[in-house]
Chain A
Amino acid sequence: MKTLQRRSRAGNIARAVALAVGLACGLSVVATSASADGGYQRISGEGSSWAANAIDAVRVNVRQFGITMDYNPSGSTSGRKNFLNGTVDFAASDIPFQFAPEDGSAPENPAPGSYAYIPVVAGGTSFMYNLKINGKRVTNLRLSGENVAKIFTRVITKWDDPAIAADNPGLTLPPRDIVPVVRSDGSGSSAQFTKWMIAMHKAIWDDYCQRSGRAPACGYTSFYPTVKGVVAQSGDLGIAGYVSQSFAEGAIGYVNYSYALGVQFPVAKVLNKAGFYTEPTPQNVAVSLLKAKINKDASNPAVYLTQQLEGVYTDADPRSYQLSSYSYFILPTKVAGQFNEAKGRTLGAVAYYMMCQAQQQSASLGYSPMPVNLVRASLEQIAKIPGVEVQSVDISKCNNPTFSSDGANLLAKKAPQPKVCDKKGSLQCPNGTGGLKNVPTAVKSGASGGGSPSGGTSSGGDTTVDGATGPGGITDTGADPATGDTVPSGVDGQGDGGTPEGGSAVDGSAGAVPVGDVVTTTLKRESAGLGIGLLVGLMILAMIFVPGFAWRRLGRRGAQ
């Protein structure tokens, strides 16, 4: 009896082993066939979380060509460092290599001529916030640059501060604490943000630098210094995740615009030099970056194509957004370490895709497509990757919304002018921003006598239209196929430039694009979530009860 039982148990074990081996073999067969597809090698990249949504979209899209690309959005500093260490094949960074960091951190010394920059995506660093008045979410907050600087340096610590009230005559903000949320990891967004603060509000920054114990190294920094009351989170996703939690009322953090769209939260409109409060829509970013000074010295790869943004900060165009910037790929131009020509071929294919096909979906993600001159320059840079299959890309076929026959940036040209109610001093627009474009916020009527008449009929008209469509669109998203239908037409409209006449009309349709997109994806996610939830529940039950029953079974058999 005993031997028989032992034999049957041994048989079971043998069967289980066979099954496991078979599974492993099957998996490895699948894996090898996938990697063999198209002859592409798996490549890995690391860096900017600011640009990660755009890069991740590319990662998903190049899978159709059999390219497996890993991207780890662990922050620009980490990306550059691991590129230097040779542990990743390419890096994504919002700022170039830091040869002489101003914040006292160790200098980075890449070997000269071993790398090249290509700008891959443009976007705005937005200030996403979580604020409610009487339990209703505020979606139309406006902030001057000075107030932004003061909020992130703990000079202004309450939402009902008179300085913020001056920006928002239409809102009665609560006496709630402001909780600034900053990056805890080394981040290009922190670097760009502090650079902007130093250029525009140096005294505020210097004072903060002293208070945070960072002095005397008070230059711009990838490591945002913290004082009491400042919350630090890792990555754009960490900040967006923290600010969007229900407990985080009063929090405000700096993230790329795409993250605010992703979690469906509003962003603050920031005052520009022309006296208008703007948000970093793809169009506004395109306008702003016309003023970015791009280094044209192709003979010096250490600076070629890098950006000087001082012109953007002081741009007098009413549509400009001050914190617009480009983010870069750092590509290897020499074979070294684990990077070889086979990987170079794959990386080249990804880079070509990034510069051409990927640009047409940038706007729907919340980024701004690259202008034609930078795409051309980048395509030349890609040819320097060792092992690359040089493609002669017909730029006009990329469907990039910025391209026009005369070389001007079409997206910037067609960018709508801001509404009258966005002007400094006027009663603010009720329209929502960022990921809650369709949710207006009620504005105090008649708070400032001059405001609403100066807004005139156009402002009043906008209010009613938005009020009618906005909430309706949100409440019956579930069954309404109309929302789903508007998405592709909106995308088309944007690609072609949309309706040529009427600034506000273009604004409306373009604004609807990302929102519609987000709504449909969350719907899909929800229905999928139910199935997955059931599956997970079943698995957990199985894990809990199967061992118990199996034990009893075995025990009974042993007793026989």
Chain B
Amino acid sequence: MQTKTALPVRDDERPSPTPREISSRRGRGDRNFNRGLSLTGISVLAVMAAVGLFLTIEAWDAFRAVGFKFFTTSTWQPDRRVFGVAAVLLFTVLIALLAVAIALPLAMGTALFIVEVVPSWLRSTFIAIVDLMAAVPSVVYGLWGLFFLQGQIIGLSRWLTTWFGWIPLFNVSGDDPTSPLASGTVYTASTFIAGVVVSMMVLPIACSVMREVFSQVPPGEREGAFALGSTRWGMIRTVTLPFGRGGIIGGTMLGLGRALGETIAVYLIISPRFDVSFHVLENGSNSVSSLIALRTPEATGFGLSALMAAGLTLFVMTLVVNFVASIFVARSRSGAGSEA
């Protein structure tokens, strides 16, 4: 069908249109919405500040009693005024780093698999499985680690220390791999087992952040890569991963934050120890949050203040980690690499 097209005819009788005045004044609904959002944003900050303030006030007694020694002492006997977080903090960081080191490749692989490999009708099932991992309460992970994993992982720990014992990290004192009667108990309740269990909890968070970012890769660039003869792996390497770098870092840091604060699973698995040791496979570990969980029910007065001081340390450390994460994420915004 053909339509007749007519050119616009100049109409001189009409007044020339004046442009509408542009005003930045918003309507009432907009303003209210804006205020509401700012209020919630500010209240989040206010709550954070209140938590920090409360912890500082409560921890003041403890800090005043021991001063800077709080960061160099490793025993924990607050009622005798001999206490500090040197060992506890070290173990906390070790557990968190181990957890992230295990979770990072797993989470990245899973996210890539879900986004790039799985057929679309199965995708939601896989997403549901990973999200299910996040929904499992941490006490369940703790019990799983305590009653199942601990017994199974001894072989791996023994293998690691037998062959890599020369690395101080994997050294286990008090173990004799050549003795058939050597007890597996020297490998139990260790930093390593706690790290593995925490990594299972970190995995779904990190994975979902990465998956979200990977799925936003512009289809044009992807198809461009394929059109140039790239294999799927080549496409992932040259398009998806550079595009999602921000998401990878962000997800990892988020996981690190979670791993630092993980309480009940670590509490169940470790056998608390209060001496500085880098041997992650060895029996005994600790963490700030599990120390708080263990001691708070029994602490009175000053003991509670000491625990608050430990809590404040963890709080500050987690804040720093998250700030660093946000800086990283902001600098390497998703897609920045692929635009070059």
Contacts and interface: CB of A to CB of B under 8 A. Distances in A.
B212 interface: no
Q: Is the interface of B mostly helix, strand, loop or mixed?
A: helix
Nearest to A105: B79
B194 to A, nearest CB: 14
Nearest to B300: A106
Nearest to A187: B298
Interface residues of B, number: 44
A75 B298 contact: yes
B146 interface: yes
Interface stretch (A197-205, A230-238, A434-442): A230-238
Contacts of A105: 79, 303
A545 B154 CA distance: 34
A184 B294 contact: yes
B14 interface: no
A551 B271 contact: no
Contacts of A217: 80
Contacts of A233: 189, 271
Contacts of A251: 183, 185
A177 B182 contact: yes
Interface in A177-196: 177, 179, 184-186
Nearest to B175: A177
A164 to B, nearest CB: 15
A455 interface: no
A544 B300 CA distance: 46
A13 B186 CA distance: 55
A420 interface: no
A369 to B, nearest CB: 30
A108 B300 contact: yes
A428 interface: no
Interface residues of A, number: 46
Contacts of A518: none
A248 B127 CA distance: 38
A474 to B, nearest CB: 23
Given A245-B151, A251-B185, A552 B121 contact: yes
A177 B272 contact: no
Contacts of A247: 150-151, 154, 184-185, 187-188
Interface stretch (A76-84, A254-262, A271-279): A76-84
Given A185-B298, A250-B183, A241 B128 contact: no
Interface in B212-269: 267-268
A251 B122 CA distance: 48
A104 interface: yes
A520 B155 CA distance: 34
A543 B185 contact: no
B181 A234 contact: no
Given A106-B79, A248-B184, A78 B297 contact: yes
Interface string B168-185: 000001100000011111
A186 B125 contact: no
Contact of B271 (A81, A232, A544): A232
A544 B147 contact: no
A233 B181 CA distance: 23
B275 to A, nearest CB: 8
A207 B164 CA distance: 36
Nearest to A178: B183
Contacts of B313: none
B301 interface: yes
Contacts of A226: 272-273
A145 B258 CA distance: 47
A246 B146 CA distance: 12
Given A175-B181, A179-B183, 20 more contacts: A75-B297, A82-B297, A104-B80, A106-B301, A106-B303, A108-B300, A176-B181, A177-B182, A185-B298, A213-B75, A222-B298, A231-B188, A245-B151, A249-B185, A251-B185, A543-B128, A544-B128, A545-B125, A547-B127, A548-B122
Interface of B: 75, 77, 79-80, 121-122, 124-125, 127-129, 132, 146-147, 150-151, 154, 173-174, 181-189, 267-268, 271-273, 275, 283-284, 294, 297-303
Please name the 6 residue pairs, one residue from A and one from B, whose CB atoms are nearest each other, closest first. A548-B125, A78-B297, A247-B184, A186-B298, A551-B124, A547-B128
24 contacts: A75-B298, A77-B298, A104-B80, A106-B302, A108-B300, A177-B182, A177-B183, A185-B294, A185-B298, A186-B298, A214-B77, A226-B273, A231-B189, A231-B284, A232-B271, A232-B273, A245-B150, A247-B150, A247-B154, A249-B185, A251-B185, A544-B129, A548-B121, A548-B125
